[in-house]
Amino acid sequence: MVLKMLRYCILCTVIWFGWAGFCEEPVRADDAPASPVQQLLERLSSADYSIRQQARKSLRDVPLEQLPELVDGLSEPSAESCVLRVRILEEIMLSDTGSRGELAEQGLEYLSLQDGPLGAAAKSTLIRNSQLRESRARLAIERLGGAVTYRNPNSPEAMMARPALPDAPGTGVGFGPPAIPWSIWLHDSWKGKPEDLWHLRRFSRWTGLVVYVIKGSGVDANDVRMLTGWLPGMVVQERGASLGIRAGVDQDSCEIREVMPGSPADRASLAVGDRILTADGRRIRSFYDLVSFLTEKSPRDTVDFEVLRAGDAGQNIRQFKVTLGSWRTHEDPDRVAPPPDFAGPQGTSYLLLHDRPPQVPMPEPQRIEGILR
């Protein structure tokens, strides 16, 4: 009997401690020591102004690998600390043109999608720095082997690319001739990776941009289409080789309306008014058929065209052999020079005349005898 009672007590003890261990609250991540960045973020809410400023200064110097902590912030930040975080990320973006500045800019994009004062502050920051972002994006795309073309905002086609957001300061007089981004070209010389398509998002202030994905660029057009949420009205076009013509898109035939000077079509003596009937034996019923055909071709490919020349009899079909060219050497007659490079308020070029509105000269004071000597 005693042995039985002892076994019962042992069993009850095991069950009790086992249940207590099961019910014990696990150690949470919140109980772990705060990282140096989190400690600095907490000081942004300090009542002491000097502590807040010192924390802000230290956060501006955090290394690249700790920037995500600055973006994530605290679980329950104050409104003031939210605004300070955005300002710190902006200062990093303005002062650093490399990976650290780009990561800070991406952090601002992420925060702009949040609700409350944090999202509002981040969104206004991106708008305020839209010209800087576009300038840096154009330079980055060119370094990676792409191109950005600009057009006069008063041209008919450019009317489609009106700003999607209110104009930011510094986008008007004094910043070069009128020019807005019209198309982005990802050429066959593109050296970028899928994550480098992020640079296209930096044009988010504009609608109706056309992105050309050229055969051989290694870019999946669907990866570009995923950016539509950032670029309203964006059109993605896939292209192969260049012929150098413009044709009507509202006709049942492919009639040439313009031949670019120096283009493959110009060198082969194709002319305005010619109707392209076939290409390498394939029937061409419209300009879209021609674009689809050329998308499969590469520069330096030779194509045999059958063309009906304006004024010729219906049976007088001419033969043309054309060596196709590259879009990198394609000349767009409507293209205008891009805006001057803009380095932002912390860059040296900000002090140049073309980076700020021109100063209006003050009139010379009139000399009145007896008053001014």
CATH code at 245-325: 2.30.42.10
CATH code at 37-128: 1.25.10
- Coil, strand, or helix at residue 313? coil
Rounded to whole angstroms, the Cα distance separating 333 from 326 reads: 16
Q: Which residue has the tokens 């191109």?
A: 147
- Coil, strand, or helix at residue 325? strand
CB 331 within 8 A of CB 147: no
Q: Which residues contact 172 (CB under 8 A, 6 or more apart)?
A: 357
Q: Let me know if 84 is exposed, middle or buried by CB neighbors in 10 A (0-12, 13-18, 19+).
A: buried
Per-residue model confidence (pLDDT) at position 195: 94
Start-to-end CA distance of the chain, whole Å, equals 124
List the domain boundaries for the chain: 37-128, 132-240+332-343, 245-325
Per-residue model confidence (pLDDT) at position 184: 96
Q: Let me know if 65 is exposed, middle or buried by CB neighbors in 10 A (0-12, 13-18, 19+).
A: exposed
**What residues form DSSP beta bridges with 76?**
none
Rounded to whole angstroms, the Cα distance separating 67 from 106 reads: 11
Rounded to whole angstroms, the Cα distance separating 39 from 47 reads: 15
Residue 6 tokens read as: 């002892």
Length of the chain: 373
Strands 147-151, 235-239: pairing is unpaired
Per-residue model confidence (pLDDT) at position 373: 42
CB 323 within 8 A of CB 299: no
DSSP secondary structure of 122-190:
HHHHHHHTHHHHHHHHHHHHHHTT-EEEEE-TTSTGGGGG-BSSPPPTTSSTTSSS--EEEEEEE-TT-
Q: What share of the chain is helix, strand, coil (3-state, %, to 5)?
A: 40, 15, 45
Task: Using alpha carbons, select from 331, 245, 238, 237 the residue that is nearest to residue 287.
Answer: 245
Task: Using alpha carbons, select from 122, 141, 237, 149 the residue that is nearest to residue 198.
Answer: 141
Per-residue model confidence (pLDDT) at position 20: 36
Rounded to whole angstroms, the Cα distance separating 231 from 222 reads: 14
Q: Average pLDDT by consecutive 10-residue portion of the chain (373 residues)? A: 41 36 39 80 87 90 90 75 89 91 94 89 91 93 95 74 49 61 94 95 91 95 94 93 87 88 94 94 93 94 93 79 92 83 59 45 56 45
Per-residue model confidence (pLDDT) at position 116: 85
Q: Read off the pTM.
A: 0.77
